[in-house]
Structure 1
Amino acid sequence: MAKSFRQCETILDLRQLVAAARANGQRIALVPTMGYLHEGHLALVEAASREADFVVVSIFVNPLQFGANEDLSSYPRDLARDLRLLAETGQCDVAFTPEVAEMYPRPMATTVQLPDMAAKLCGKTRPGHFAGVATVVSKLFHIVAPDVACFGQKDGQQLAIIRRMVADLNMPIEIVSVPTVREADGLAKSSRNVYLSPEERDHATILYRTLSWAREQIANGNRDGKAIASGMRERIAADPIARLDYAEVVSLADLESIDVIEGDVMLAVAAYFGKARLIDNLQLNV
C-alpha cells in the first residue's frame, strides 16, 4: 500500500513526525541525499522501505562538504522533480528539505572528523570534504535517530567513513550499503553525469571498464595490489579525454593501500571528464 507522503522543512516538525511513528512501534529508516535524484537514489529508498516501516529521505545540498573552488553554486537541483519522484515511489513517508539556515543557524563550532580515512583517495584533492560529510550525517542521525540508514556503494569512501563514525561513537544505527546502479554500459549513475558532453559521456565508461579489468585480474589469481593499481592508472591515463585523479586498491576497513589483495578490498577510481569529476569503485571479498 502506498504511503502518505509529506514534505517537511524544519527539524522540529520532522522530529514530531518521527516521534509519532516510533510511538506506533514503527522502525525508522533514513536515506541522506543531496537531491537531483536518479535511479541510484531511488534504489536506496527501495532498500530503506524493505528495512523499515517509516522512511525519511533528506534532500540537502550541504555547503560544508564543498571546497572553495568546487561546484556548490552550480550543483544540479530540482526540488519539485525530486518530490514528485519520491511521491511516485510510494515508499517514502517524509522528504526532509531544510534550508541551510535550518541546519546551520550559526557558524559551526563542532565538526566530526576522521582525519586518517578522510585524507585518502578523494580526500587528497578535496581537503575538508569528509569532515563536512561526517558532520552533516551526524547531525541528521541526531535529528532523525533512525534505526537504519541506507548509503550507496558508489560513494565507497563515504560509506567506509560513515561506518567507522557509527562504530567509534557507538551510534545505535544499522548502516545498510546498497549496490551501485549503473547504465547499460556500466557507467555509475551520478547527479554529476549531467555535466558530461556526449563525447565525455562515451569516454567516462573507461572507469567501469578499468574496474572490470582489475576484477578479472583478481578472479584469475593476481593478488599483487601495487601491480593492479598501476594497471588501472595506465588504462585511465591512456584515455584521451580522461584526466586521472587516482586509481587505488585499498582495504575496505581503513582505506589503506594494500600490497597483497585479500579479505574485504575496494578497487577505487576517480577522473575528470571536462568539468565533471566522476568516481567509481568495486568492493570485493577475496
Structure 2
Amino acid sequence: MAATPKARALGLAVRKIRQERGLTLRELGERIGRHAGEISRWENGERPFTPERVAQILGALDVNGTRFQEIVSLSYETKNPPWVATALPERDQQLAALIDFEASATRITEVAPLLVPGLLQETGYVRAIMGAGGVPASEVAARVALRLGRREVLTRPDPVSLRAYLGEAVLHQVIGDAPITAAQLRHLCDVATRPNVEIRVVPFRSGWQPALEGAFTLLESEVSTPIVQLENRRSTLFLHEHDDIRAYQRAVDDLRTAALGAAESRELITRRIRSLERT
C-alpha cells in the first residue's frame, strides 16, 4: 500500500529527531528492540506506526512535553485520506512534510491563478505578502528565509522539474508596490531561462479553465505516490488517492492547452514589466 502523506510526515518527524540525537537506525533499533530495516520502513511511511510504537520511540529518544504530544497526534488515522490540517501545530507539520515532498519530487506542477507560487517568489514579494498578511514582524525574517530556502530544489545539481501555470491576473496584481511587482516578474523571466523550469501564462481570453477553481500544487516522484496540495487561509489539504490525482492531472492537461507557450508567456511578462517601470 502506498504511503499516505500523513504517514510520510510522521516518519519525517521521527527521523528528524533521531538524526538530531545522532543515532543511526541500528542504534535506535537496539534501544527499542526492533530491526533497523523495520524502523526505516516506518520512517519512510511505508509501514504505519501505531501510537504506542511512536510513544515508545519518542521515549527512547528522550522526547517529552508539547513536541511529544504533537508527534503522537500525527500517528492517529495515518491510513485515512485526505489529510486536512486546521490547527497551527498540524499545519506546521504539513509545511515540514511539503518541504520534504518538494525535495524528493521529480516534477512539480504549480497552478496559480492569482499569486506567484512560493517556489518562484522573490524576496521583496515574499516580504510584501507577509507584511500585508499580518505576520508578526518578529517572525518575518525566519519565514522569508524558509520560503526562499525552498527554492534550492530548482538550483541544486539534480534539480526538480517545475512547470508553472500562472493566471494572467498574477501579472497585474500589484503586491507591495510597482517596483516590487516588477522585480518579481523579472525574477520569473530569469528563472524561466533554466532548462528545468517552464512558466506559462493562462490568458484572460482563455475562457473557463481549471485554474479558475483555485490554486493547487501537484508533486510527482519516481519513488512515491503523487500528492496534491491545496491551501486556503485557515487550512491545508493533502490528497493522494488515485481518483483525486487523476482529476488534477487532467486539469493540468487542460491548462497545457489553454496556456500560452513559454516564449509567448515571457513576452507578455516582459511587456507587463515595462508597463510597471513606466508607472
TM-score range, shorter chain: under 0.3
Q: Quick one: higher RCO (CA 8 Å, sep 6+), 1 or 2?
A: 2
| TM-score for both structures, normalised by structure 1 | 0.25
Greater percentage in helix: 2
Greater percentage in strand: 1
| TM-score for both structures, normalised by structure 2 | 0.25
